[in-house]
Structure 1
């Protein structure tokens, strides 16, 4: 685990939509492909966490096995294309991973890893999924600082990373400001993954977590980093090294990704694979009211105080304003229904607010989307 977030530092830099593959024999292939990039953590000389040392395999091996199995299942879905950062026990440099990722035009990025608990206790266990964000949790902050520090292993890191300092909270904060647009979608897929780990795999759900990583500052697509479990916990290490364990974790990831693609492409897949949590069209539009939480769409921020009239906001109504220091923030909509606020966000985008995003409040104070959705 010593560098498990480092690989993500460059891998999430893709931000494109993929053109359809022209196969004249299948009408569905004329539709735009949904491209999933899967990143098997570590590789080659970077083994990741060795776990308890009872197995010859390490984190890099389990991550690759699950990644390839997941990709094989997703590849069977129509108009879904899977690409990998590696398919063998190799270690592409971070720059090589970045170049490859930027060329592939992915719609979703998933980095797969295994966790480790510092020290010799080995009591921590369970699965968790990370998205980009600032966390008040000191442990998450320290993890981000430690994992980002892998940049020091590369030559010319000062030039490559443009002065980024992994130990500086200011550097971490600067990352978040650039990527809030995709945060709600990243949290959405992360939530699906954690639900599957709990329901399908029967694993301990450690929840969706946020932390700041240099890597995600270059991410222009929904991206998550998945921790399948702790290899420092003997029983969990046995499970993740077993064929059955890897198969169930792979099925859980597949269910979650399939659900996400269905919802975002309006596609209903029909296949022979066992999928637990089938969707229907009515559920896709169902409300998701979270009591005690208020969602808004942040449109912009400015030092100027602007009247909250629709003619100042491209015809949008229900505009509100909030002052923070010398900055005024402008919001559209107000609801406790997460599905409704997502629809309002898409409406705002169609009006020209391409960089708008969803924010959450509880008792008048802003909270992270992850915390809001975990309510």
Structure 2
């Protein structure tokens, strides 16, 4: 208990210090949108070696391809945590991003599992939703054991302890919404543009995401342990396609910020017709679900002509921004159906939010409520 308390106190102090550093650097670099690209592992840490492929090499090649393309944009400054096969500590990766006052932190990895699991996953920071997510985070966090004096630099943190994960999720919460938005763009591009098997956006307790003070995601581009997928990721063609999706997502995220309104970057989204008739009712008492489709400094009329023909639009002013919502229902399945429609209309970064007694609450809290 004492060790955990010490960790939390140290984390709060580090957070405050890094926040000041990040804020100062953001002001100094406000003419550029700063993206920090992090190729996982490196040096004496090869990452996983599924089917003989080397995670650290594949992640680096994808990151370098992403950076090369982003650097063509005069409004973007790209910073790499590594550009060659060198070892960088987890705290070193976070420090690079914080010192730069980055707008985004994107970490690239390859997955592994002792099964036929395959597909992409993009993680944001959060309590592990299940044992598998915890195991993935545990695997990545155990890199600290390869660092000299890791006990001093990560005092109180144990990658093998679920309790340690709770402490590391507290500081990144204010960036969670933006992180989820970017993660959804990445997974949507993998799924719709590259036709990859997407396992979706997930939450887990990655140390490096906790210590970066900006929207941050960790991308698992696929499973090297799945023979077909490992060969794809090890190929030039596969790396090119995966990097293209990451590039598209970052540019779409930036464009959304610049325009302060959601736009569609995909021209060939599949036409999914939600089957309303065969969808069961799943009501949550005292909970209202909505689909947030945009956040903007512009005060738009909640009319269908302003939102690609969508009706049932509502808005709310929060901290100087207008948030726009589609739909309003206590039926979870119905709001999921409306979310699909919103994405088809071009709002690919839309997501479900929950309200209780008119006040927004975390979706996870709403889902804990007993349904009728």
> What is the CA-CA distance between 1:18 and the residue it aligns to?
3.5
Query: What RMSD over aligned residues (CA atoms) do the two structures have, in Å?
Result: 3.7
> What is the CA-CA distance between 1:149 and the residue it aligns to?
3.1
Question: CA–CA distance in 2 between the matches of 1:94 and 1:188?
Answer: 24
SS at match of 1:86: coil
> What is the CA-CA distance between 1:347 and the residue it aligns to?
4.3
TM-score by length of 2: 0.67
Does the Cα contact within 8 Å between 1:62 and 1:241 map onto a contact in 2? yes
Q: Which residue of 2 aligns with 1:339?
A: 293
Does the Cα contact within 8 Å between 1:360 and 1:368 map onto a contact in 2? no
Q: Does residue 67 of structure 2 align to residue 97 of structure 1?
A: no
SS at match of 2:170: helix
Q: Does residue 200 of structure 2 align to residue 207 of structure 1?
A: yes
Q: Which residue of 2 aligns with 1:179?
A: 172
Question: CA–CA distance in 2 between the matches of 1:19 and 1:66?
Answer: 30
> What is the CA-CA distance between 1:45 and the residue it aligns to?
1.5
Does the Cα contact within 8 Å between 1:293 and 1:360 map onto a contact in 2? no
Q: Which residue of 2 aligns with 1:309?
A: none
| Aligned pairs for 1:104-183 within 5 A | 104-118=100-114, 121=115, 123-183=116-176
Evaluate the alpha carbon distance shift between residue 346 and residue 130 of structure 1 in structure 2; reply closer, same or farther with a 3 A threshold. farther
Does the Cα contact within 8 Å between 1:128 and 1:227 map onto a contact in 2? yes
> What is the CA-CA distance between 1:130 and the residue it aligns to?
0.6
Q: Deviations over 1:286-340 (max 9, x none)?
A: xxxxx9899xxxxxxxxxxxxxxxxxxxxxxxxxxx9xxxxxxxxxx97613136
Q: Which residue of 2 aligns with 1:216?
A: 209
| Aligned pairs for 1:1-375 within 5 A | 15-16=22-23, 18-19=26-27, 32-53=31-52, 57-118=53-114, 121=115, 123-266=116-259, 277=266, 336-339=290-293, 347-350=317-320, 360-361=353-354, 367-368=363-364
Does the Cα contact within 8 Å between 1:127 and 1:194 map onto a contact in 2? yes
Q: Which residue of 2 aligns with 1:26?
A: none
SS at match of 1:178: coil
Does the Cα contact within 8 Å between 1:200 and 1:248 map onto a contact in 2? no
Unaligned runs of 5+ residues in structure 1 are: 1-9, 22-30, 269-274, 279-290, 295-321, 323-332, 352-357
Evaluate the alpha carbon distance shift between residue 263 and residue 51 of structure 1 in structure 2; reply closer, same or farther with a 3 A threshold. same
> What is the CA-CA distance between 1:68 and the residue it aligns to?
0.7
Question: CA–CA distance in 2 between the matches of 1:187 and 1:66?
Answer: 21
Does the Cα contact within 8 Å between 2:106 and 2:218 map onto a contact in 1? yes
Question: CA–CA distance in 2 between the matches of 1:293 and 1:175?
Answer: 33
Q: Deviations over 1:216-264 (max 9, x none)?
A: 3322210000011111111111211222111111111111111000001
Does the Cα contact within 8 Å between 1:292 and 1:362 map onto a contact in 2? no
Does the Cα contact within 8 Å between 1:261 and 1:267 map onto a contact in 2? no
Q: Which residue of 2 aligns with 1:282?
A: none
Does the Cα contact within 8 Å between 2:113 and 2:225 map onto a contact in 1? yes
Evaluate the alpha carbon distance shift between residue 67 and residue 361 of structure 1 in structure 2; reply closer, same or farther with a 3 A threshold. same
Question: CA–CA distance in 1 between the matches of 2:141 and 2:84?
Answer: 24
Does the Cα contact within 8 Å between 1:52 and 1:234 map onto a contact in 2? yes
Number of residues paired by the alignment?
A: 285
TM-score by length of 1: 0.66
Does the Cα contact within 8 Å between 1:131 and 1:187 map onto a contact in 2? yes
Greater helix proportion: 2
Evaluate the alpha carbon distance shift between residue 267 and residue 95 of structure 1 in structure 2; reply closer, same or farther with a 3 A threshold. same
Does the Cα contact within 8 Å between 2:292 and 2:353 map onto a contact in 1? no
Evaluate the alpha carbon distance shift between residue 342 and residue 188 of structure 1 in structure 2; reply closer, same or farther with a 3 A threshold. farther
